[in-house]
Amino acid sequence: MTKFFLHRIVVMLVAICVCHDVFAQNDSTYVSCHQQGNKEEVGHERQRPFLLKALDDVTDFFMGCDTTYVTPQQYQLSAEAEVSYWHDYYNLRSSETNKTMTIQSDPSVILGGNVSYSIFGYGLLWNMNDLGIKAGKTNGTSLRQTFSIHTAKFFAEYYTFNSGKGAEIRSITGMSLKGKDRTFHGLNSRCKGGSIIYLFNNQHFSWPAAFGENAVQRKSCGTWSIGFQYNHQRVTFNAEELPDYLIGTIDSTLLFNKVNYDDFNVSVGYSYNCVLGRNVLYAISVLPSIGYRRSNITEASYKHSILNNVATDLNLRMSLVWNNTKYYSSLILETHTYSYRKDKFGLTNTYGTLKYVLGLNFWKKT
């Protein structure tokens, strides 16, 4: 009898070990084991750690889609390298004199990358133009950061970066700048903000396939979207850095010392994913927005503050993506336009980014 029980215990231990190995390899909740002797099948349940299971459940909920249109995310982790080209423009205008001035920042070459776990991503980028230049003299910023969530149902992002410094005066109404020094180092812009966008046709349209690279669109499809955005801008203008021939001659109503504003706006837009071939996608997203801007401007000539304004902005994204679920490569264009207007002064600043991304997915889901 003792030998019988010992034999049964050994068999059970072996069965438990086998079940554990199968669970670890396949991440299965239920494992069927066959006991020796009477060939009785026993169901053996193993539970994953609560936090991991909860995270997977949340991910599955937010990434749920019609698989005839979208191949969902198949890997837990991804890593990508990014090379991007940044450019920004500033248009100053006076409704009092109908004159304008356009300033273009020096183009910036940005190098960095992004790592993602499941639907969560973090990006870190460095401005290569800043290498070897003293602090405060760079043409932009040495660091840009993004935190993002890419799901089938919504997209969320937080970002922070600086821009400006090295720039060129492109045009001034009523003045010819041909053959003259147009360099300007007195412009600096600091930007941070966030957005969340909900996609209505989320069962068929995949935002991650277009801009997150953690899904693949199989059939062409579009969707309307609605979102909320917050953006904080601080733009400073040092008129003493203007070329000598402009000091004292430029229209004073075009000048300011500092603009601070916070945007709170709602956007309604449309996005479309066009499948060009197997694993190849062209995507476009247009999101105009309107909202409330809490602002403060100190003008160079009048030294007083102007508060409150209506915000009208426009975000445009386009991408060309190749993704076979394991490896992916994409070319992405993004522009953000922020327009400030009040009484006799207006400022529009537009940021444009063209980036190339090469990435790898790993740790396949089971």
285 falls in which pLDDT band (50, 70, 90)? very high
Report how many domains make up the chain. 2
Does residue 40 lie within any of the structural domains?
yes
Q: CB of 29 within 8 A of CB of 46?
A: yes
Q: With b meaning 16 or more CB within 10 Å and e meaning fewer, what string describes 125-136?
A: bebebbeeeeee
Does residue 50 lie within any of the structural domains?
no
The single-letter DSSP state of residue 175 is B
Q: Quote the CA–CA distance of 161 and 352 in Å, as a whole number.
A: 13
357 token code pair: 């991304």
Residues 236 and 350 in one domain: yes
Q: Quote the CA–CA distance of 158 and 366 in Å, as a whole number.
A: 31
Q: Which residues contact 241 (CB under 8 A, 6 or more apart)?
A: 184, 185, 186
pLDDT digits (tens, 9 = 90+) for 86-95: 888 888 887 7
Residues 23 and 137 in one domain: no
Does residue 261 lie within any of the structural domains?
yes
Residues 112 and 245 in one domain: yes
Does residue 221 lie within any of the structural domains?
yes
Residues 187 and 38 in one domain: no
Percent of the chain with pLDDT over 70: 72
Residues 41 and 88 in one domain: no
Q: CB of 358 within 8 A of CB of 326?
A: no
| pLDDT computed for residue 141 by the predictor | 55
Phi, psi of 17 (to 5 degrees): -65, -45
Q: Quote the CA–CA distance of 34 and 14 in Å, as a whole number.
A: 11
pLDDT digits (tens, 9 = 90+) for 218-262: 999 999 999 998 888 887 878 778 887 777 777 777 777 777 778
Residues 123 and 27 in one domain: no
Residues 119 and 227 in one domain: yes
329 token code pair: 């490569």
Q: Where are the beta strands (DSSP E) in the chain?
A: 30-34, 41-45, 70-71, 75-94, 99-105, 108-117, 120-127, 144-150, 154-172, 183-199, 216-217, 221-237, 256-277, 280-299, 309-323, 327-342, 345-364
Residues 113 and 15 in one domain: no
Q: CB of 255 within 8 A of CB of 347?
A: no
In 3-state terms the chain splits into helix, strand, coil percentages (rounded to 5) of 15, 60, 25
Q: Quote the CA–CA distance of 293 and 145 in Å, as a whole number.
A: 24
| pLDDT computed for residue 301 by the predictor | 53
pLDDT digits (tens, 9 = 90+) for 109-159: 888 889 988 888 999 888 776 666 665 555 445 678 889 988 888 889 998
Q: Quote the CA–CA distance of 204 and 151 in Å, as a whole number.
A: 13
Does residue 41 lie within any of the structural domains?
yes
What is the domain range of residue 10? 2-45
Residues 7 and 121 in one domain: no
Residues 277 and 354 in one domain: yes
Query: 305: number of CA atoms within 13 Å, CB side?
Result: 7
Does residue 307 lie within any of the structural domains?
yes
Percent of the chain with pLDDT over 90: 19
Residues 188 and 333 in one domain: yes
Note the pTM of the prediction, 2 decimals.
Answer: 0.71
Q: Angle at Cα 192 formed by Cα 189 and Cα 198, nearest 5°?
A: 135
Does residue 239 lie within any of the structural domains?
yes
| Residues facing 226 on adjacent strands | 198, 268
Residues 292 and 180 in one domain: yes
- Find, among 319, 325, 215, 323, the residue nearest to 271 by Cα: 319
Does residue 64 lie within any of the structural domains?
no
Q: How far apart are the first and last CA of the chain?
A: 43
CATH number of the domain at 337, please: 2.40.128
